Structures are given as C-alpha cells and as structure tokens.
Amino acid sequence: MAEELILLDEWLSMFGMRARIALAEKGIKYVYKEEDLDNKSQMLLQMNPIHKKIPVLIHKGKPICESINIVEYIDEVWNESVPFLPSDPYQKSQARFWADFVNKKVGDVGGRIWPGRRDEIEVAKKELIEGLKELEIVLGDKPYFGGDTFGYVDIALIPFYTWFYTYEELCNFKVEAECDKLIAWAKRCKQRESVSKSVADEKEVYEYVVNYRKRFDLD
C-alpha cells in the first residue's frame, strides 16, 4: 500500500526536503513524484489548487499542503516514534515560533538572494547573516534545537544547509566564519541518514542557480 502515500516535490526545494526528512525520520515508505514547475502536473494542480506549489503530501487521496504543516501532520499521524514537537505547550509554542522565524528570516530572505539582482542580494545578505546569528544564539550549546533529540526546528532549518554554498558564492561570505556553532550543528544533522539521503547536493543546487541566473540575465 505504498501508493497510499505520495509526495509531490522538486529535488532542490528546501521545503520539499523538510517533508522528505520527516518521512525518513519516521521510517515511512512513500512514492516520490518529481514535479517540473515549468509544466505542473494535473495532480499538483488538483491537489494544491490554491497555491499550486510543492511539496504536497497525499495521504489516502487527501492532500496536505505547506511544508511545516506536512511535518506536523506526519508527527501526529505516525506518533509511535520520538515526536518532533515537545509535548509541553510552552516548549511547543517556542518550537513553532522558531520554525516560523526560519521561514521568514532564512526562507524568505534566501528567496530574495538566489533569483535577486545584485543590489537586492546585498540587502538580503545582511538580513540572512542576522537571522542565522539569532538561530545560533537559540541553539546555544545544545546538540539540536530540540535539545538532545533531533526535532521540529532542526527539520525546518537543516534543508537550507544545502543552499548555504549557493548563498555564500552569490553573497561572497562564509557562514562558518559568522556562525561556527551552526555549521557544527548542520554537520551533526547531516550524519543522520534521514537527512543525508533526503537533501540535494549543494553543488548541484548551485549549478541550477547559476544556470537560472544566466537564463534571466541576473548578473
């Protein structure tokens, strides 16, 4: 019954990677369907008619959209293993706050870098570094954002590590020089098979972005 669970995704999407990591952490089998976002499938248009975006998790024919929502759904449905979210309401509210912070200060800001003009990149670079520094403070000396166990905020943030090389090349800086503990955390996460097998190759992401920027004459 693997067909009962389908992930509509695109290989380099950090949002898609969140879903892949969450599914791998829970040891769930699913059918992966790569979308061509220049030519979206009928299935994607039917399953996410509102935003028409990946990732979409289709469980028993019903779609769940938005990556953080998908991670939370997976955590609730396959609830026999270690949960991604803490059970304490306050700790849970903090995890949700920081996942939202990742969306805004890494996701949205990163989304202004890779397809951005040079002047936009300079502004976004500064904001990105600020955001990553805030995250490093929150991480502190813990092995993971969730404490001793890999969890919700880790899943929300780690896919962006795959994009750091692209941000670094386009912005001319090194994340490690700014946030060495965050890089140590990312390497720790990458040792997990659930992460290493779910994320894209950083050089392939960069190559894609370089080609995209050439195509739209952005440099």
Write out the residues near a copy of itself by the rule CB under 8 A.
50, 59, 62, 64-66, 69-70, 72-73, 76-77, 89-90, 92-93, 96-97, 100-101, 134
Tell me the three state secondary structure of residue 31: strand
CB of 51 to a copy of itself, least distance (A): 8
Beta carbon nearer to a copy of itself, 72 or 154 = 72
Name the β-bridge partners of 147. 144
Radius of gyration of the chain (CA): 17
Beta carbon nearer to a copy of itself, 3 or 100 = 100
Beta carbon nearer to a copy of itself, 89 or 140 = 89
Contacts of residue 90, defined as CB under 8 A and 6 or more positions apart, other chains included, come to: none
CB of 105 to a copy of itself, least distance (A): 9
Report CA-CA distances (Å) from 34 to 4, 37, 54, 163: 17, 9, 10, 19
Report CA-CA distances (Å) from 7 to 19, 73, 141, 173: 8, 13, 35, 34
Beta carbon nearer to a copy of itself, 49 or 211 = 49
Beta carbon nearer to a copy of itself, 44 or 199 = 44
CB of 201 to a copy of itself, least distance (A): 30
CB of 26 to a copy of itself, least distance (A): 13
CB of 47 to a copy of itself, least distance (A): 12
Cα–Cα distance measured from residue 113 to residue 72, given in angstroms and rounded to the nearest whole number: 28
